[in-house]
Amino acid sequence: MTIQEAEAVGHCDGAGEITAAHCPCRLAGHSAHEVPELDGLTARERQVLLLLGDGLPNGPLARRLGIAERTVKAHIAHIIGKLGLHTRLEAVVIAVIHHDVLCPAGAR
For the residues 103-108, what does the mean pLDDT come to?
67
How confident is residue 21, by pLDDT bands cut at 50, 70 and 90?
Answer: low
Tell me if residue 18 falls in helix, strand or coil.
strand
**How many Å apart are CA 52 and CA 70, to the nearest integer?**
15
- Enumerate the H helices of the chain as residue ranges: 3-8, 43-53, 58-65, 69-82, 88-97, 99-102
Q: Could you report the per-residue pLDDT of 23-74, keeping only the tens digit for each? A: 544 555 555 556 678 989 999 999 999 999 999 999 999 999 999 999 999 9
Which domains, from first to last, does the chain contain?
1-32 (no CATH), 35-108 (1.10.10.10)
